[in-house]
Chains A and B, each alone.
Chain A
Amino acid sequence: GWAPEPDQLFRTPAGWSDAGRLAPSETLSLTFALRQRNVQRLARLVQQVSSPDSAKYGQFLSLADVQALVAPSPLTLGTVQKWLDRHGVWDCRAVSTMDFLQCQLPAGTAERLLPGAQFHRYRNGTLSSVRSPSPYTLSEELQEHVDFVGGLHRFPAERKVVSRAWASGRMWPRRATRST
């Protein structure tokens, strides 16, 4: 197989714990990022519509225009569709720009589709996420057609608003001198 994300770290964030492997019949949702066309052209276009000294400044594209520009090739769409069909994955929906495909499928099917993946449930208080601690691979035939598969490794990122006065017991954060 081929690993689209060999460098993607898997780490269980603080607060999350492994609650066991999913039963093969449990449904999960995977997001396939399909290879787009004309990315270089898109980059040039962005430069033109965003640069005040360009004649095209402010001439933005509609969603339909973006779709026409970046939508995957018929070959990409067909290859991915055939591969999913072969594994009995039918419940899929594409976004308007056709470059993301979101599919619902049983965990057992997902593990056959993405060799190496093993889906576990992780819990953090009332929150629950399904992720694979082991890397996934894809069929070689998809190397030119899929960028990555979402829903395997990355946990929902937490952002933290700092509350320095409370956290440090200081009321005057800016006046404090740095310890040497």
Chain B
Amino acid sequence: FHLGVTPAVIRQRYNLTDGDVGTFQNSSQACAQFLEQYFHQADLSEFMHLFGGGFPHRCSVDRVVGRQGQGKAGLEASLDVEYLMSTGANISTWVFSTAGRHESQEPFLQWLLLLSNMSALPWVHSVSYGDDEDSLSRAYLERVNVEFMKAAARGLSILFASGDLGAGCRTTSEGKHVFRPSFPASSPYVTTVGGTSFRDPFLVSAEVSDYISGGGFSNVFPMPSYQAAAVKRYLSVAPRLPPSTYYNSTGRAYPDLAALSDNYWVVTNRIPVPWVSGTSASTPVVAGLIALINDQRLRRGRPPLGFLNPALYQLQGQGNSTAFYDVTQGCHLSCLDATVEGQGFCAAPSWDPVTGWGTPNFPELLRAMLG
């Protein structure tokens, strides 16, 4: 029984023991904040005091890159830091804070510039940010995608939230409805995290898909080879698919995996806040777990995981993996019209465009990624 998602609930659900914490000094993880979203160290300390009992953890961020404003803490920033440091416990954590030094700078672009300018960076980055893919120019989308390739080539794992509007919806110039993918979630060179909730809201129970969990198919980026078999399988066996005119079935499909995204407790401005939800919550949770796996790999003298998706799809494509809890129930939101009646895609056995491969079963995922 629980009264909302806390670090203890997440660690129980994903099978982390008290010993599953960072131990290697070169392990590192980061989250990025834009638009003057700040966190307060005091909130983090209070959060860990309230919810961090039972597992070794850190109570402060090691490095802030950029400017931390003096104003109130932002709920998003507090959420990111508190949960990244709860699953990625005891791992050195950085916060990139790029509100834009100048009024004319684009904060997200500034973050990309920082990645291209710093030789020593955390291995794992959690970013809960997104825009409608159709609102961005193709030149911009393609170039940002190359920036993710650069990061992948350097061994960085970059995780993006899949968004909180399900499949999304927009009206075309012909007046028809189509789903609306989100970017960078739709980039083939990042790992995209969807959302789930407990089937029984106050029990650590099996998970169902969260109806807000962003997912779908890119209209810009073609489907990468690493996911072709998994997506083809979904499209051929899914019992109920939206009409094909609503989405581009040959595009990059997302999310890649998921975690709980509902009913979180967050401490912000010294006040514990319940019922915080969104894939902004699931993304730092998964990022922290990836940082823990990196920690074990680095301790064994092995390289970090880097860009996760090829390994992830290969592992899960074998069919007998227990590294993820397969989420098979629930559908996400989409267009409110007579054809789809607000329903986008539905979760299904194996990969699906609501929860990806499902949610992590940490010991098995660790074993697979060390093997």
Residues of A that sit less than 8 Å from B by CB: 4-9, 11, 27-31, 33, 36, 39, 42-43, 45-47, 49-53, 58-66, 69-70, 95-97, 99-100, 102, 104, 119, 121, 126-131, 147-148, 150-151, 154, 156-166, 172-175, 178, 180
- Give the docked Cα–Cα distance between A172 and B117 (Å): 46
Q: Given A43-B149, A50-B309, A70-B150, is A7 in contact with B138 using a C-beta cutoff of 8 Å?
A: yes
- Give the docked Cα–Cα distance between A30 and B274 (Å): 41
B-chain residues with CB within 8 Å of residue A6 when the two chains form the complex: 137
Other-chain contact of A119, B104, B129, B212 (Cβ < 8 Å): B104
* Cβ-defined contact, A148 with B140, below 8 A: yes
Q: Is B55 an interface residue (CB 8 A)?
A: no
B-chain residues with CB within 8 Å of residue A11 when the two chains form the complex: 135
Q: What would be 6 A-B contacts, judged by CB atoms less than 8 Å apart? A: A28-B103, A50-B309, A127-B36, A154-B109, A158-B35, A161-B276
How distant is A127 from chain B, measured CB to nearest CB, in Å? 6
Other-chain contact of A46, B79, B161, B189 (Cβ < 8 Å): B189
Q: Is B281 an interface residue (CB 8 A)?
A: yes
- Give the docked Cα–Cα distance between A151 and B100 (Å): 10
The stretch among B17-25, B38-46, B250-258, B300-308 that forms the contact with chain A is B300-308
Q: Mark B333-371, 1 if CB is under 8 A from A, else 0.
A: 000000001100000000000000000000000000000
Could you list 4 further interchain pairs (A-B, Cβ under 8 angstroms) beyond the known A159-B129, A162-B212, A173-B201?
A: A4-B139, A29-B102, A46-B153, A50-B309
* Cβ-defined contact, B201 with A46, below 8 A: no
Q: How large is the interface on B (under 10, 10 to 19, 20 to 34, 35 or more residues)?
A: 35 or more
Residues of B that sit less than 8 Å from A by CB: 34-36, 71, 75-76, 79, 99-109, 112-113, 116-119, 128-131, 134-140, 142-143, 146, 149-150, 152-155, 161, 164, 189, 197-199, 201, 208, 212, 226, 262-263, 273-278, 280-281, 302-304, 306-311, 314, 341-342
A-chain residues with CB within 8 Å of residue B117 when the two chains form the complex: 95-97
Closest partner residue, chain B, to A146 (CB atom): B139
Other-chain contact of A159, B104, B280, B308 (Cβ < 8 Å): B280
Closest partner residue, chain B, to A7 (CB atom): B137
* Cβ-defined contact, A53 with B314, below 8 A: yes
